[in-house]
Structure 1
Amino acid sequence: MTAMRTLLDQVVPATTGWSHVVNAGETLRIVDIAGRQAVDFLCYDAVDPGDRYNATNTLKVQGSAFIGLGTVLYADSGKPLLRVTGDSLGRHDTIYGCCSEANNRLRYGVTGTHSCYANFESELAKHGLDRSAIVANVNFFMQVPVEADGTLGVADDVSPPGSHVDLLAESDTLVVLSACPQMLNPCNGYNPTPVRVIVTAAG
C-alpha cells in the first residue's frame, strides 16, 4: 500500500472561503466536521484559469445530475480537472448554485446577508480573477432532490459529522470553496460550522 504524506491540513472557519492549487496527483479531502454543512465549490485549470469547471460537460458525460464516487469534474475545454476517489455520503448537488446577496433578496426578501458568492469573489481576487469566473458550482454535502413534477428544494439532515469527499487532481487545479454561511434554508442546519481541508500526495 502506497504511503501518503500530508502537504496541508487546515480548518476553514465557518462562513469563510478558501482557495489552493492542488497539483496533479495530489488529493484534496474536504471534511464536514460537525455535519450538515454545505461546501460550495469551484475549480479551474491552474495554468489557464479561464478554463473552468463546466457543470454541463460534467453532468452530460456522467449521465447524472449529481456528483458521487467516480465522477470527473470537467472544464469548459473538456479537460479533466478532478476525480472523486472517495465519498462517504454518496451524492452531492450540482443544481442549486451558490447563495448570493441577489438570490437571498429574490427568494427571501432580505438584504445585507453574507454569501458564498461574496466568498468566491474574495478568494478569486487572490488569483487575479473576478466575478466573471463564478459559474454554476458543486455543493458538497448538500442534496437537492428533483421530484417527478420538477419540484426541487434543499434536503435537511443530509451529512453526518465527519462526512468527507476525496478529489484527486487530474491536472494542476485551482480549487475555491466556501463554508456556506446560508441561514435562510436548511443546507447548514441553520448553524454554519467549519470544514477541514487536507491535501495529500503519495510518497
Structure 2
Amino acid sequence: MNVIWQKVLMPGDRWSGNICKERLIRFTAEGDGANLGMLLYNVRNLSEHYNAPDTLKAQHTFYLKKGHAIISDCGRAMASIVEDDLGWHDSIAGCTTRKMTDEKYGFTSYQKQGNDYLKAGQENFINELIKNGMSKKDLMPPVNFFSKVEADETGNLSFCKNHCKKGAAVAIRTEMDVYIVLSNTPNPMDEAVNYPSVPVRIEVLPAARADELDFCVNYSEYTKRAFENTWEYDLLLGI
C-alpha cells in the first residue's frame, strides 16, 4: 500500500489533525523506549471522544493490543488495533504534567531554553486542542503506545523497562472520521532519570473497511457491538 502522508514526530513534539475513516495509521519507534500519547475525537461531534474506562471494561482488559477497538464514550468503535509488534500498550498511566516534568527532569522553560525546553504531555494535548476550539475540559487519559504498565495482585503499578525496542510498530485503522491528537512525551511512570528522547514515525495509508469477518470485529462480543454501533451511526448519517 502506498503511504498517503508521513511525518516523524520528534521528542517533545505534538501534532493533531483530521483523518477520515478507512485509513491505517502506523506508528514506528525510531529508538528504544518510545512512548506516544494519543487522544481521539469524532470529527462530526467533538464532544464524543475516546473513553479509556469503557474501552477497557467492555473488552475485559487492562491494556490494549491487536484486536481491541478504541471505543468512545458513546459506545462506538472509533478505531481498532490491526497491527502490533508489542502486544501491550498502556491505557491507564495518563500523561505528564508541567509540575511532574520539572520535578523529575529539572526545570526548563521556553524563556530560557527556547524550543529545547522539556515538554509535558498535558500541555501538549491542551495546546493542540485549543487549535480546534477546544480546551482543558476536553482532555482525558490518553492511550500510551509502546509503553507497558503492569499491576501486581495488590494493585500496585509498575513501569516495564525495555518493553519497546527500536523498529517496534503498532497500527490503528480508523473506523470513523476522527480528530487525532498526538504527544511524543514520556510515560508518567517511566523511571528514566533523563528525559526520554525517541522519535516516532507516523504513516497514513489506505485501509479496507472492516466487515463481519474482520479479526477486530470478532475479537469479542463487546468489540463487535462497538463496531455495530459505528456502522449504525454511519448508516443513519448516510456516510
Taking structure 1 as the reference length, the TM-score comes to 0.89
Quote the offset at 1:92 in angstroms: 0.5
2:4 aligns to what? Answer: 7
Name the Cα RMSD after superposition. 2.3
| Deviation of 1:94 (Å) | 0.9
Tell me, in whole angstroms, the C-alpha distance in 1 between the residues paired with 2:186 and 2:162.
Answer: 16
SS of equivalent residue, structure 2 residue 150: coil
Return the offset for 1:202: 4.5
* Counterpart residue type for residue 130 of structure 2: A
1:93 and 1:183, CA in 2 relative to 1: closer, same or farther beyond 3 A?
A: closer
| Cα distance between partner residues in 2 of 1:201 and 1:182 | 30
Q: Is 1:125 aligned with 2:130? A: yes
Q: Is contact 2:105–2:193 with CA below 8 Å preserved after alignment?
A: no
In the alignment, the residues of structure 2 paired with residue 147 and residue 182 of structure 1 have an alpha-carbon distance, to the nearest angstrom, of: 19
* CA drift at 1:156: 1.1
Aligned match for 1:194, one of 178, 199, 207: 199
Residue-pair matches, total: 199
Query: What secondary structure sits across from 1:145 in the alignment?
Result: strand
Task: Report what 1:82 is aligned to.
Answer: 79
The structure carrying a bigger helix percent of its residues is: 2
CA distances 1:85-144 after superposition (whole Å, capped 9, x unpaired) = 000111011111000124457x85966563011110111122211111110111110111
SS at match of 1:49: strand
Q: 1:70 and 1:202, CA in 2 relative to 1: closer, same or farther beyond 3 A?
A: closer
Larger radius of gyration: 2
Aligned partners of 1:122 and 1:38: how far apart in 2? 19
2:152 — aligned with what? Answer: 147
User: Which consecutive residues of structure 2, in runs of 5 or more, have no partner in the other structure?
Assistant: 109-117, 209-239
Offset, 1:77: 0.7
1:168 has 2:173 as partner:
yes
Partner of 2:45, secondary structure, is coil
TM-score, normalised by the number of residues in structure 2: 0.76
- The CA deviation at 1:187 is 6.5
Q: Which sits farther off after the overlay, 69-78 or 5-14?
A: 5-14
Instruction: Indicate the residue corresponding to 1:135 in structure 2.
Output: 140
Query: Identical aligned pairs, as a percentage?
Result: 26
3-state SS in 1 of match to 2:203? strand
